[in-house]
Amino acid sequence: MRAKKILDMEGLKRLREDRPSALLVHCHGVFDVLHAGHLAYFESAKKFGEVLVITITADEFVNKGPGRPYFNSAVRANMIAALEIVDFVAISRAATAVPVLETLRPNFYVKGPDYKNKALDATGGIYAEEAAVEKGGGRLVFTDDDTHSSSTLINKFFNQWTEDQVKAIDAVNGAGGFAEVEKALEALSKQDVCVIGEPIVDTYRFCSPNSISSKSPSISASYLYEENYLGGSLAIANHLAGLAKSVTLLITHGGEPYFLELLREKLDPRIKLVEQSLLNIPTPRKTRYIAVDKAQRIFEITHLRSDQWLRHSPKEFSKLIQKTNSKKNTTILADFGHGLFENSVLEAVDALDGFVTVNVQTNSSNLGFNPYTKHKRFAYLSIDTKEAQIAYHDRFSSPRDLARRLREDLTRVGTAFSMTLGSNGSYYFPNRGREELHVAAFADNVVDATGAGDAFFGLTSLLVKSGCPDILVPFLGNVFAGLKTRIIGNKSSVSRAQLVKAVTSILK
């Protein structure tokens, strides 16, 4: 009986076609841990019509932070189908209910009382859903039942957090909780941001591995398809476009037609682009061959030249930096070690006014040649353990000892810094005289860690400038980076709504 109640999207379409005059009622949500509040919600919704259809968000579209959903979509659908009051259930493979509403065209789309004030919906999806239901001839209506939360129940009774994560959550709640998070994000929306750094094109070539070649010990794979993503400074700017008041991006590139087309298609239109094209200097491009079934990297090829200022004069780009210089700016220097921050360009950024933040990246193309010490003036630094090891020529000290050496060199001159630790979270050392913080990572279901450090750096740069409570810098940075790991490459950015939704779920 339960199986007959569970439909696919085509089944929903037929349901409406087969019952053109029936009053269809639709409820949509995650419904992770079924509880009494859900049952009351369904009972109230059923009063609006004759046929009650419940759709649940598929696992990959649940943005409620690590460990969610607790139950997979098949289990959740089966549980709801077991309820007598529910007539049909379907799994929606989208971030909002809009595709289902367009297919089902219900007479009533029913939400709980917490959605009556639409402005409080962190995702803003309620507006699109209301438009979709009205377009199909239906109405958005609300119940008056008491609200309950699966997230609260999971956090309280299912013990999904590690001891270190609980410490971080308690510290955030002790510093004002979600109210302080809202204040911090509001402060970000008032910042004018300037991102300066190398653009990178991340090309992912998806393959199906076959076996070892018969003529040499190399992997043989069948090419399937490829996708290009905006990485490097482009990805940072895209992340911040939805958080800051304004974002200006300064880059050099090779002027390749494919790259210019990629900028037009995938760079957030809210970003003001300031660019210089350099003849015969290719835009940095990293081509990764990916085993499509497991999203594992097989091989990587890098296309770049790091000698651009030996082949071209840096004066023009230095002047562009000077023109965008402002004491009001939060200036983010994303130094990927591919040759941009050299010669007079390095001198120009060292002379910048305003709040300057720096990230220097160590990668296979610049190993040992890109220490943070090349930059002379900045208010905030974000690096990882390997980058700290290179700065101090020290392979053997623990991350904690490296972080404390950084503190001795940086915080005494008023510079804050973060040191990211991958799956172990991050250290944050505020300005002189304030307590060091270690916050656990908040990441699960990792698809691709590429760009997670860039996402962390971009968000924490703005948070440090905002003057928010210290604990929010590593906490929000880790949550933001964790959300990024759910995205392959930089195929999309992490939105403010996704961050708010994840933090809300974690802090409940």
In this model, does residue 150 exceed pLDDT 70?
no
Residues 38 and 99 in one domain: yes
Residue 178 CA to residue 231 CA, distance in Å, equals: 31
The residue among 406, 497, 461 whose CA lies nearest residue 121 is: 497
29 in a structural domain: yes
What pLDDT is stored for residue 147 in this prediction? 61
Domain boundary among 139, 157, 175: 157
Residue 443 CA to residue 17 CA, distance in Å, equals: 43
Question: Do you find a cis peptide bond into 284, omega within 30 degrees of 0?
Answer: no
Residues 125 and 170 in one domain: no
Q: How many domains does the chain have?
A: 2
| 32 confidence band (pLDDT: 50, 70, 90) | confident
Cβ burial, residue 78 (10 Å; 0-12/13-18/19+) = middle
Residues 28 and 106 in one domain: yes
336 in a structural domain: no
Structure tokens at 34: 């079924």
487 in a structural domain: yes
Q: 309 or 144: which carries more pLDDT confidence?
A: 309
| 1 confidence band (pLDDT: 50, 70, 90) | low
What pLDDT is stored for residue 67 in this prediction? 67
Residues 104 and 179 in one domain: no
In this model, does residue 151 exceed pLDDT 60?
no
Mean pLDDT for the chain overall: 89
Beta strands 219-232; 199-212: pairing state: antiparallel
Which range of 70-74, 143-147, 273-277, 290-294 scores highest in mean pLDDT? It is 273-277
Residues 119 and 172 in one domain: no
377 in a structural domain: no
Domain region containing 404: 161-190+391-508
Average pLDDT over residues 343-354: 93
Residues 181 and 145 in one domain: no
| 336 confidence band (pLDDT: 50, 70, 90) | very high
The DSSP symbol for 436 reads -
pLDDT in tens, 264-309: 999 999 999 999 999 999 999 999 999 887 778 888 999 999 999 9
DSSP 120-158: G-TT-HHHHHHHHHHHTT-EEEE--PPP--HHHHHHHHS
Residues 50 and 135 in one domain: yes
Q: The pTM is what?
A: 0.77
What pLDDT is stored for residue 158 in this prediction? 52
What pLDDT is stored for residue 16 in this prediction? 86
Residues 151 and 53 in one domain: yes
Residues 458 and 402 in one domain: yes
Residues 486 and 499 in one domain: yes
Average pLDDT over residues 194-206: 97
Structure tokens at 345: 């360009």
pLDDT in tens, 96-119: 889 999 999 999 999 988 788 776
In this model, does residue 435 exceed pLDDT 90?
no
pLDDT in tens, 206-262: 998 887 766 677 788 889 999 999 999 999 999 999 999 999 999 999 999 999 999
Structure tokens at 154: 């999971």
Residues 24 and 171 in one domain: no
Any idea which of 9-18, 407-416, 455-464 has the lowest mean pLDDT?
407-416
Any idea which of 75-79, 154-158, 200-204, 340-344 has the lowest mean pLDDT?
154-158
Residue 15 CA to residue 54 CA, distance in Å, equals: 13
Q: 356 or 327: which carries more pLDDT confidence?
A: 356
Secondary structure E strands in 192-253: 192-197, 199-212, 219-232, 246-253
Q: 495 or 293: which carries more pLDDT confidence?
A: 495
330 in a structural domain: no
Residues 399 and 480 in one domain: yes
- The answer to whether the beta carbons of residues 468 and 28 sit under 8 Å apart is no
Q: Residues with Cβ < 8 Å from 280, sequence gap 6 or more?
A: 254, 311
Any idea which of 145-159, 279-293, 388-402 has the lowest mean pLDDT?
145-159
Give me the sheet containing 88-92, strands edge to edge.
6-7, 88-92, 51-57, 24-29, 108-111, 139-142
CATH number of the domain enclosing 127: 3.40.50.620
pLDDT in tens, 403-428: 888 888 887 667 999 999 999 999 99
Residue 182 CA to residue 176 CA, distance in Å, equals: 10
CATH number of the domain enclosing 416: 3.40.1190.20
458 in a structural domain: yes
